Structure 1
Amino acid sequence: MIASLAILPLVLLAVGTPIFLVFLTAVVVTMMFVLPLPPVALQQVLFGGFDNYALLAIPFFVFAGELMSTSGIANRLINWAMAMVGRVPGSLGVATVGASTAIGAISGSSVAAVAAMGKTLYPKLVDAGYGKARAGGLIASSGAIDIAIPPSIAMILYGLAAEQSIPRLFIAGVLPGLLMALMLAGFIVIVAVRNRIPSQGRFEPGIAFKATKDAFWALLMPVFVLGGIYNGWFSPTEAGGFACVYAIVVALFIYRTMTLREVVRAAGNAAMLTGQIMIIVAAASVITWMLTTQGVPQAIIAWINALQLTPFMFLLAINAVLLVIGCFLDPTSAILVFAPLLVPIAVSLGIDPIHFGIVMTVNLAIGMFTPPFGLNIFVAQSVTGLPVHALYRGVAPFVVVLILALLIITYVPALSLALGQSL
């Protein structure tokens, strides 16, 4: 069973097999040659993986993110962030981080943020003196904040896999996401001072007011979505539906930057991306079922207990493992497979599962721009035209900065738990 469920997936990943086929092939081979299980069980578990109401939030938030990108709402947020920064050293780089955080508070899509910022900000960053590699690295890395800041698709999936409250996960991600943004912004300021990169203009109340007015309805979206969840107006799934309706109304009737045909086209693009996510959800549910029925989680817990690891040592080891996993697997796949295995161990050591979910999410967010296979790197490469090796060089310092943020988030649980005490 070790060969079919551990070695075989590694071989398939190495030859570039799509991740859902990796999972399904491992399970089918195990059922055919190792464990005599009825084939109907595979079908039942495969389709049973969709039987969860909370999963409906994913297509809603994906569609909202697509609408935001297509309608130009993301560009309004970028312009607003640039207008608010003023004469801070490295103001354009700081605005890039701020814009990514604002976009993440609406869509939760790291890829959408990288694509939007790459088209708008990359040429400006290069002209301002950041250099091509550093500018590309900043865009790829700041997009990772979108996974940690609510609403986050990764947090929805963790809530499903670990059977935890999605609203509590959302509010737990606020302070860690802001910490990541502040540390990236602080690093940019240091780089700007050392390299004498000038600030871009100064803060002007008139320009800031106009930018805020232009982005007003975009800035209200996360207020309505998250405020509605925590005031009990709607569930996270219903919040996703509200986000879609809100984005359509704003794009069609307020900003008037989309037509009905473009809304339908955006829905088609969102459906394609949702299909990619959902097929991974189904395939991951199968391999998780296989591991659970064979007692793998219990065996891992017993092994960890035998090692007598302290919570400090366990979290350090998990961070190291997840950072490596994030280099090869996307957050969706990694969370669905590893959360059911790791959460019981964390709970047995007295680690809060909500805090552990944020630690896991931030780890995998860093993996989005970590070489060799971080997805944000390839999105940034397609937008900027930079060679991949230049982007590897550009993201390296930002990986270090966010790993330092990760360690703070890991060993200061209050950052993740303080805002959710009343829930």
Structure 2
Amino acid sequence: MSLAVLFGVFAAGLLIGIPVAITLGVSSLAYLLYQGIPIVVMPQKMYAGIDSFVLLCIPGFILAGNLMNSGGITERIIRFANATVGWMRGGLGLTNVAGSMLFGGISGTAVADAASLGGVLIPGMKKAGYPADFSAAVTAASSTVGPMIPPSVPMIIVGALSGISVGKMFLAGAVPGILMGLAMMVTTYIISVKRGFPRQAWQGWGELLRSFMGAFWAIFMTVLIVGGLMTGLATPTETAIVACIYALIVGRFIYGELPLRKVPGIIIESAVASAAILALVGFANVFGWILVSERIPQTIASAVLAVTDNKYLIILMVNILLLIVGMFMETIAALIILFVPLLTLAQGVGIDPLHFATFAVLNLMIGLTTPPVGVCLFICSNIARLPLAPVVRAIMPFILTNILVLLAVSYFPPLATWLPSILMN
């Protein structure tokens, strides 16, 4: 009955639209009260969930991304991407995907990608003659590349939960992220040719070189982050702080578009965004502790293993489960609640933890573009000023493309494990 209270309150909260973090907290509190457990357990478990040195890099990477974005990075990345692929059929759509791949190395979050690039590219694509639904769909879909290419907030969460090196997690996501981007560019090109979308004139090698030099300092941040982790000169948290200092110097003194008077506001904005993530982590940790105390992970593992111990079937079952969960739950909450139980199951059948973590995060990234709780879908629909239904229809080819990449990463482990094995051993 106590579990019925927990899941009943949780489901009711989601159905009436209460934010996931609050729903997790309220349902956990209802369980504690029903069981007669002192509610002082709740703040204790919340604190335990966020008391991690690794999690300190989340505010750092968010601040670094906001500083770079306020310092003119978005326009420079779009200009470079446009000079590179804009001359092809559907060039602005290809620019959209390429821009997301480059921007992903700065922000670490899909939501920041969708809001920043979408605010510029969706109106631009509509003005150039692209349908509004396609413009919103390609922006929402391509934004999911961001958390796969380092740095990545979901990867940091997974590292904190499992003890897997965050540096290895960052590198494990790089190849799948690039595959996602390339696959979506192919999809964009095919749709553009079929529907006769416009193309731009080739702007010349001079513009390509100028745009690259303009975007160089922004792109170099990814090299700085990965290089610091690979060489072992800095922890993820230290790397995040270095990235903040670098972003401030580039935005203020190299690009010259970041007035110092704006910095306090950017810091406050980043602190609020970080607090929202860490509050979600705290509430989800209470929820997860309840599941563990009720032996839910062991029950799930036993139930699945009673059906099959074939790891390929288990990978398929886990992917189906996470795709369904991603439709209804925010990524970080889903990771905190489900990752450890599913990792235990995966390790029980011989799946490498790094490989499992990579395809689990990729899976939940797809959930950011699926209704009814696809955050990136909502952001891009609002920017395009469209109802959700036409954007959902337009995004289906991209979701199918990403699912194909997910299956490739799930069933061919070297796509996730090869890069960390050669760079961090």
Give 5+ residue unaligned stretches, structure 2. none
Paired amino acid for 2:61: F
Paired amino acid for 1:233: L
Aligned to 2:285: 285
Q: State the TM-score, normalizing by the size of structure 1.
A: 0.96
Q: Percent identity?
A: 33
Aligned to 1:183: 183
CA distance in 2, matches of 1:301, 1:353: 16
Measure how far apart 1:59 and its partner are: 0.4
Paired amino acid for 1:266: I
CA distance in 1, matches of 2:242, 2:323: 34
Q: Secondary structure at the match of 1:180?
A: helix
Paired amino acid for 2:216: F
Query: Is the contact between residue 69 and residue 112 of structure 1 (CA under 8 Å) also seen in structure 2?
Result: no
Aligned to 1:13: 14
Query: Is the contact between residue 96 and residue 139 of structure 2 (CA under 8 Å) also seen in structure 1?
Result: yes
Aligned to 2:259: 259
Answer yes or no: is 1:53 the counterpart of 2:53.
yes
Alignment of 1:36-185 (within 5 A): 36-85=36-85, 87-185=87-185
Q: Residues 251-283 of structure 1, C-alpha deviation per residue, up to 9 Å, x if partnerless?
A: 111111011121111111111111110110110
Quick check: 267-276 or 296-305, which moved more? 296-305
Q: Secondary structure at the match of 2:106?
A: helix
Quick check: 83-92 or 405-414, which moved more? 83-92
Q: Secondary structure at the match of 1:39?
A: coil
Q: Residues 348-376 of structure 1, C-alpha deviation per residue, up to 9 Å, x if partnerless?
A: 01111111111111111111111122001
Measure how far apart 1:329 and its partner are: 1.3
Query: Is the contact between residue 75 and residue 116 of structure 1 (CA under 8 Å) also seen in structure 2?
Result: no
Aligned to 2:402: 402
Closer/same/farther in 2, CA of residues 62 and 39 from structure 1, 3 Å limit: same
CA distance in 2, matches of 1:85, 1:413: 30
Query: Is the contact between residue 84 and residue 203 of structure 1 (CA under 8 Å) also seen in structure 2?
Result: no
Q: Secondary structure at the match of 1:146?
A: coil
Quick check: 257-266 or 39-48, which moved more? 39-48
CA distance in 2, matches of 1:124, 1:38: 55
Aligned to 1:192: 192
* C-alpha RMSD of matched pairs (Å): 1.5
Paired amino acid for 2:40: V
Measure how far apart 1:86 and its partner are: 5.1
Paired amino acid for 1:81: A
Query: Is the contact between residue 86 and residue 204 of structure 1 (CA under 8 Å) also seen in structure 2?
Result: no
Measure how far apart 1:187 and its partner are: 0.8
Measure how far apart 1:413 and its partner are: 0.9
CA distance in 1, matches of 2:121, 2:68: 17
CA distance in 2, matches of 1:116, 1:41: 39
Q: Residues 279-318 of structure 1, C-alpha deviation per residue, up to 9 Å, x if partnerless?
A: 1011011111111122221222222221124111111111
Query: Is the contact between residue 97 and residue 185 of structure 2 (CA under 8 Å) also seen in structure 1?
Result: yes
CA distance in 2, matches of 1:59, 1:410: 30
Aligned to 2:364: 364
CA distance in 2, matches of 1:112, 1:276: 14
CA distance in 2, matches of 1:65, 1:87: 29
Aligned to 1:341: 341
Paired amino acid for 2:31: T
Paired amino acid for 1:172: A
Measure how far apart 1:173 and its partner are: 0.4
Query: Is the contact between residue 187 and residue 397 of structure 2 (CA under 8 Å) also seen in structure 1?
Result: no
Measure how far apart 1:339 and its partner are: 0.7
Paired amino acid for 1:254: I
Closer/same/farther in 2, CA of residues 382 and 196 from structure 1, 3 Å limit: closer
Aligned to 2:25: 24
Measure how far apart 1:390 and its partner are: 2.5
Aligned to 1:319: 319
Quick check: 174-183 or 201-210, which moved more? 201-210
Measure how far apart 1:203 and its partner are: 5.1
Aligned to 2:391: 391
Aligned to 2:373: 373
Query: Is the contact between residue 105 and residue 219 of structure 2 (CA under 8 Å) also seen in structure 1?
Result: no
Q: Secondary structure at the match of 2:40?
A: helix
Q: Residues 178-210 of structure 1, C-alpha deviation per residue, up to 9 Å, x if partnerless?
A: 000010001111112222223211151100111
Q: State the TM-score, normalizing by the size of structure 2.
A: 0.96
Q: Residues 71-100 of structure 1, C-alpha deviation per residue, up to 9 Å, x if partnerless?
A: 221211111111112533322211111100
